[in-house]
Amino acid sequence: MRYLLVFLALIPLVFDPAADLPYEPPKVFLITSGIFFSLLVVGVLFLIKDQNFSRRDGSVAWHHLDAAVLVYGLTLVISTFLSRDFWSSFFGSEERMIGLYYYLALFALYFFVRRTASENDWKFFLRTTTFVAALGSLYAIMQWFNLDLPSLKHAFPLYGQTGPTRAFSTFGHPNFLGAYLAMVLPFAVYQFFSDSNQRWRIAALVTSVLTLGAILLTYSRGAWLAALAALLWVWFLSKPHPRRWYVERLVPIFLGGCALLAVLVVLRPMIQDLRSAAVYRVVSTVDWQRGSTLARVNEWKFALPYLLERPIFGYGFDTYYDVAILREKDPRESSPDFQGADPSVADRLHNIFLDIAWASGFVGLIAFLALLISAGRTAIERGRSELLRPWIVTVTASLAAYLVGNLFSFDFSLSGLWFFLLLAGLRARPPV
């Protein structure tokens, strides 16, 4: 198990600059291949009755979280068989490759990790992740300073016309990089405070700083909010406090957030036309009448009638593109970084809940919500222990980053992988 987790932790660094699609397909291929190969090895060891795979203890007993994962998986299987395009739903689009086949690998990974992962396995996974996140963040920062590999120059050409290129590292898209780093950030903080090796604690501190810097340079508003949510989650829940403590801190944070939004709204007319990608991304957060924010709103409005046409099991994975090409782009959806409206056509809805409803209907959405509720129950049950609390808070902070970031985006290879690893982590013993 240790080798598989370390292998999966290294996946973010993988890309193929010679390929037409250098980022997502290689990652998906390695993730699925690694999982299924590991299952094959485990099957062989089980057949020869290797004692390392004997039952460990009660921690691997059947749990309501396992049932919730299984039910969600069954809804995805049914929705794929009833989808408008079975093969597209099963294998995913050529660009994404995230169809039922990929999710079946992740479901298998969840139960595999739950069954066999030890504290030391998780420790090696976190240490490898710290190393990978630091490298990925450093490369992203170098990109922002226009220091990039020649073969990847202009790999993300829609940005950087009015300022430095949005950092995307080895992910191919700034939003993907930001989402991944926001999920990793709580674990870097956890490792800084809990790792028994001082060198790794220093490495975790360096990774935290680099990660925060890279998140800022992605100009991804979803990643900014996700990282903020994760850090606030860790700060508020790492230790139990009296109710008054939470009120004294939540009220100023809420009022400060409202004041910041008010300032942005007031200043928007004066700075919205500045030829700066960074300023545009910040100001457009409160501008629902133009830019990518308007594009998302229009996209959601456009998709809603189609969702109601197939409300039970939806359309299947990666089938939205065929409908999205029918939407007429509003000229106000333009960005200062390219002329006219965004020329890209979304192949998935930029909201995880709507995206799940599209792929698997409201049955799948209900199953997903039930899974989140079960995860919350598990966190509350285990978080009561003083020994387990820091680990559970870290895992749930990463889950919070996943959900907050995906309110404006959708699953990709690594976010899906991490989601199921985090679910397994809720029942894991804390790394030593």
Query: Hey, is 411 helix, strand or coil?
Result: coil
Q: Is residue 332 part of a domain?
A: no
How far apart (Å, rounded) are the C-alpha atoms in residues 248 and 355?
Answer: 37
Which pLDDT does position 302 carry in this prediction? 92
Q: Is residue 300 part of a domain?
A: no
Q: Is residue 290 part of a domain?
A: no
Q: Is residue 279 part of a domain?
A: no
How far apart (Å, rounded) are the C-alpha atoms in residues 389 and 56?
Answer: 22
Q: Is residue 39 part of a domain?
A: yes
Residue 407 CB neighbour total at 10 angstroms: 15
Which pLDDT does position 294 carry in this prediction? 82
How far apart (Å, rounded) are the C-alpha atoms in residues 379 and 133?
Answer: 26
Which pLDDT does position 58 carry in this prediction? 40
Which pLDDT does position 268 carry in this prediction? 73
How far apart (Å, rounded) are the C-alpha atoms in residues 200 and 111?
Answer: 29
Which pLDDT does position 158 carry in this prediction? 47
Domain encompassing residue 60: 2-249+346-425
Which pLDDT does position 395 carry in this prediction? 96
Which pLDDT does position 332 carry in this prediction? 75
Q: Is residue 187 part of a domain?
A: yes
Q: Is residue 264 part of a domain?
A: no
Q: Is residue 85 part of a domain?
A: yes
- Please say whether the dihedral angle defined by the alpha carbons of residues 254, 260, 264 and 265, taken in this order, is positive or negative: positive
Q: How many domains does the chain have?
A: 1
Query: What token pair was written down for 281?
Result: 């991304």
Which pLDDT does position 308 carry in this prediction? 94
In terms of Cβ atoms closer than 10 Å to its own Cβ (0-12, 13-18, 19+), residue 62 is exposed
Which pLDDT does position 216 carry in this prediction? 93
Short-list 21, 336, 23, 17, CA closest to 148 = 17
DSSP state letters, 10-36? HGGG---TTSSS-SHHHHHHHHHHHHH
Which pLDDT does position 287 carry in this prediction? 72
Average pLDDT of adjacent 10-residue blocks, the chain of 432 residues? 91 87 90 92 71 51 92 96 92 87 96 89 94 95 80 51 74 92 96 90 95 93 94 90 84 88 77 67 73 83 94 93 85 64 67 95 97 96 90 96 93 94 92 74
Which pLDDT does position 366 carry in this prediction? 97
Q: What is the pTM of this model?
A: 0.91
How far apart (Å, rounded) are the C-alpha atoms in residues 391 and 428?
Answer: 9
Which pLDDT does position 267 carry in this prediction? 75
DSSP 8-state code for residue 338: B
How far apart (Å, rounded) are the C-alpha atoms in residues 223 and 177?
Answer: 8
